[in-house]
Structure 1
Amino acid sequence: MTDNIQVNGELAKELQKKLASEGVEYCYATYVDVHGVSKTKCVPVSHLAHMMGGSELFTVGALEGMGLVGPHFDECAAVPDLASATILPWDKRYCWFASDMHFHGQPYANCSRVILKRASEKAAAKKLIFNLGIEPEFYVLRREGDTLAPLQGETFHGPTPAYDLNQISLAGPFLEELTRYVEGLGWGLYSFDQEGGHGQFEIDFGYTDALTTADRLTFFRFMVKSIARKHGAVASFMPKPFSNDFRSGAHHNMSLMDMDTRENLFDASVRPVGELARSYGLDATDETLHFAAGLLEHAQALCAFTCPSYNSYKGLIAQGDMPDMSWAPVLQAYGRNNRSAMLRLPMNRPCIENRAPDMSANFYLSAALSLYAGLDGLERKADPGQPLNDNLYLARDVRSRGRNMRRLPRTLLEASDALEESDFARSVFGEEFVDIFVAQKRKEWDAQFYMVTKSERDRFLTFV
């Protein structure tokens, strides 16, 4: 076992015995790289107790965005979190674990899950729990030769298939299996639907603490891909797979809970409506507005984590090549139940909804900086300025009406520049990690931006 890694041997052996009795044969110790892509080693269940002690080593320098680059560095150990144990509903021979990376026996500072745990510890020191609910959207497509078609296999005629009964019915076999598993995992499934895109779906389940939610969304992507494959389809979490169709968002619904009273600090039905909130005509607590102010003030850098791919910014637009508005935010602003603003204060739940994140996010990182930013606003009692409650796609001269008003980054390059220049992000994530992340995103930007496409050549070859 790796030096200094503490593990409850008896507890590990008990879990090993329990899993074996339930038919589990193999265990995955998984972690994510800087992009949120899962990595793992697989061990027989008889080796679980050793795996808990850090027996499985990874040369993370061979991976993108993990640091320790070079053959001379020692390996990192993946240390599974016992509480995250999840038997694969579609193949009960395997058990999945979320893991923290350790280096020389200590939590590795550049591990995404370790970063979120550090942020959660800061909240815990203030007797607060950061709760998070994420609304995952994704496409499920069938390959037809060189093209991709919606899972349903039947063309929808109309402006958008959103909420269409026939379309969701045609996707029944896939959705029934997926939602049965989500419900069986005890995640609190409460809704699923055909979304606005052709072959796009949304599955909604309950919120919980941010670490558990990030673990679940990481597992969810693995599960959706696995089930889609069984049905002869491809699941995609690409933010904007088609220029003329809707992006796949991952709205972050955030709240803070008092550890002692178990009250939601953002719930004006059980806590006083704040003076600041009243001055803006809002039925909200001042804690809600202070937290929102922190998110707005650090929004430019935060976008590097909530919208982390080159393709993300093809979806973070007002309309583009779509027949109507995109429903994605383009302005750094907040409003009461306003879906055209970055931050929405929903009418039906006491939380702050960030509508900018998409499904390509590393949810450990997006949650961590969201929490740090919100706590910063709370500590300083920051003022988010006047809420903007009209349609921001149509409004004119909105920049003068909001204290934190600004256009959200238009490209991955803008977002990564904002992150690089953010002293705040460097102070909470560490200089090394920010440099690692920015370098990866600049690399991604360069690879895509300098590529000359066929459509570009066709348009400009003889233009002048």
Structure 2
Amino acid sequence: MNSTEEIAVLEKKLSDLGVQPSPGQPVPGIKGTTVSYSADEVARLQKELSDKGVKYCIGAYVDIHGVPKAKVVPIHHLGHMAKGSERYTGYALDGLGQAPNDDEITSVPDFSRLIQLPWEPKIAWIPADNHFQGKPYALNTRVALQNQLAKAAEMGFGLNLGIECEIFLLRQNEDGSLTVPDAEDKLTKSCYDVRGFTNSFSWLDKMASAINGLGWDLYSFDHEDANGQFEFDFNYADALTTCDRLTFFRFMAKHYAKEEGLLATMMPKPFADKTGNGAHFNMSLYDLDGGSNLFACDPKDDPRGIGLTPLGYSFIAGILKHGRALCAVFAPTVNSYKRLVRRGAMSYFSWAPVFNSYGSNNRTNSVRVPAGGGRCESRNADGAVNPYLAATLVLAAGLEGIREQLDPGNPNEDNLYAISDDERRARGIEFLPQTLQEAVADFAADPLVASALGKELRDEFIRYKTEEWETYHLSVSKWEVERYSYMF
């Protein structure tokens, strides 16, 4: 499905519910940032949802980490909710930049992306945006993405995004430790293992059935490289829709795991000796007028032979120009940088990128052009990503590359894990940041960040992630106790 079709699906979904955006107000995230609905339209939606058994509505916005927050509104108050009736003390939330004496923020629902919970049809989940004193709130990351999408629209572009969802299904023990619940899932290389897959079929079937029931078009799922790890791949969509889906996916995965007495987690690196959870961003720009993929071409027409247009190469060049700063939002936790290693405590290469580089179908680059071309994949994104924040910045970087007609050079086709430092330097390939502290420093120093996010949102991210790093270093780990208490 191309993005023009995706837009039509969204508009039809509203139409089927008896709701249309008011004249002149586009679907959010496609050609603008605001939708308003008349009282009659909301009343029709309220009746339709009531007829389907919905009793309560969640208008879920996210904090700076991408964690959903909301109040729950009975269905007969949907009209009030549509007007932003629910008020929140921003000081009680991470990254929304408020002091105790500030006016409250509100949440305004986006009905075009409403989901009736597959496991509890009495509840409707509705992605929402924060507003402040009647206007979209710039410190909300979903609002920031819509603002950046509007800038892309001024250039005639929309952003298609697909995110690969890697996730562990684990048991949490009484002491808080995590273990793989399937005793037979113990192969050193368990990627694509059929027995490991079928042994966890109950949870997998619930997830797959729900994903397809929601119309996301699950086209593949499998046992991933680590014991207890799985991957779900569903169809790409416009960037805002995909970010909403990832946010809901994490919520849904945890619910279905809890039904099994287990824990689902997209934590980047739960185990030092196993591969981590990526959330690879697969991106292309499309033409807003016709919906065509602006990165796609026949590899025979590409002098570099990997099936990408000059526009696509410039987009990649923008990502690489700002690659070290982008790493802070693609890999936003202390734990993330235990995933971005060549090998670490593993017996073989980790598959995770450590270089700010690009290539064709070569997984040792941070930016890859998969076989067939037509898109690029940022591989340093992990399961802790706030998708709205990361999509905002990677789009801003790619658009800068296009405006400045940047060129990324020749693709790297060999195993970058194995080349010497001298050869790496000769090619001009930098390492990605190796700690959260290093990534945040690059984030803070890059002028693109303030331009794309605004100074306030940039400063909030720096403040929270600096505090996260400092708190980590004040903690005393089990490793330290075991190593030093007997040594000294």
SS at match of 1:190: strand
Give the residue type in structure 2 aligned to 1:80: P
> Contact 1:239/1:360 (CA < 8 Å) preserved in 2?
yes
Quote the residue 1:407 is aligned against.
431
The answer as to 2:338 corresponding to 1:310 is: no
- Quote the offset at 1:252 in angstroms: 0.3
Match of 1:329 in 2: 353
Letter aligned with residue 57 of structure 2: C
- State yes or no: 1:23 paired with 2:53: yes
Matched, 1:67 2:97: yes
Tell me how far 1:349 sits from its aligned partner. 4.9
- Native 8 Å contact 1:34 1:362 kept in 2: yes
Q: Which of 57, 60, 68 is 1:38 aligned to?
A: 68
Change (3 A) 1:149 1:459: closer
Contact 1:331 1:342 in 2 (8 A): yes
**8 A contact 1:273–1:286 mirrored in 2:** no
Structure 2 counterpart of 1:254, one-letter code: M
Aligned partners of 1:137 and 1:200 also within 8 Å? yes
The secondary structure found in structure 2 opposite 1:217 is helix
Mapped to 2, the partners of 1:290 and 1:402 lie a distance apart of: 18
Answer yes or no: is the 8 Å Cα contact 1:256–1:266 preserved in 2. Answer: yes
Which 4+ stretches in 1 moved above 4 angstroms? 461-464
Rounded to whole Å, the distance in 1 between the matches of 2:320 and 2:483 is: 39
1:6 Cα deviation (Å)? 4.6
What RMSD in Å do the two structures reach over aligned CA positions? 1.7
Pairs within 5 Å for 1:38-437? 38-70=68-100, 72-146=101-175, 147-151=177-181, 153-269=182-298, 273=301, 278=303, 280-396=304-420, 397-403=422-428, 405-437=429-461
Moved more, 446-455 or 425-434: 446-455
Alpha-carbon distance, 1:188 to partner: 1.0
- SS of residue matched to 1:444: helix
Q: Kindly, what percent of the aligned residue pairs are identical?
A: 42
Range moving further from structure 2, 348-357 or 174-183: 348-357
Moved more, 366-375 or 139-148: 139-148
User: What secondary structure sits across from 2:91 in the alignment?
Assistant: helix
Q: Is the partner of 1:250 in helix, strand or coil?
A: coil
235-244 vs 141-150, which deviates more? 141-150
CA distance in 1, matches of 2:134, 2:44: 24
Do the aligned residues in 2 keep the contact of 1:333 with 1:402 (CA within 8 Å)? no
Distance 1:203 1:5 in 2: 31
- Segments of 5+ residues of structure 1 without an aligned counterpart are none
Alpha-carbon distance between aligned partners in 2 of 1:87 and 1:348, rounded to the nearest angstrom: 36
Q: Deviations over 1:416-446 (max 9, x none)?
A: 1111111111111111111111000000000
Amino acid at match of 1:293: A
CA distance in 2, matches of 1:196, 1:61: 41
Q: Which runs of 5+ in 2 are unaligned?
A: 1-33
- Partner SS state of residue 161, structure 1: coil
Scaled by the length of structure 1, the TM-score of the pair is 0.94
Aligned-partner Cα distance in 2 for 1:51–1:75? 15
Residue 26 of structure 2 is matched in structure 1 by none
CA contact (8 A) 1:392 1:398 kept: no
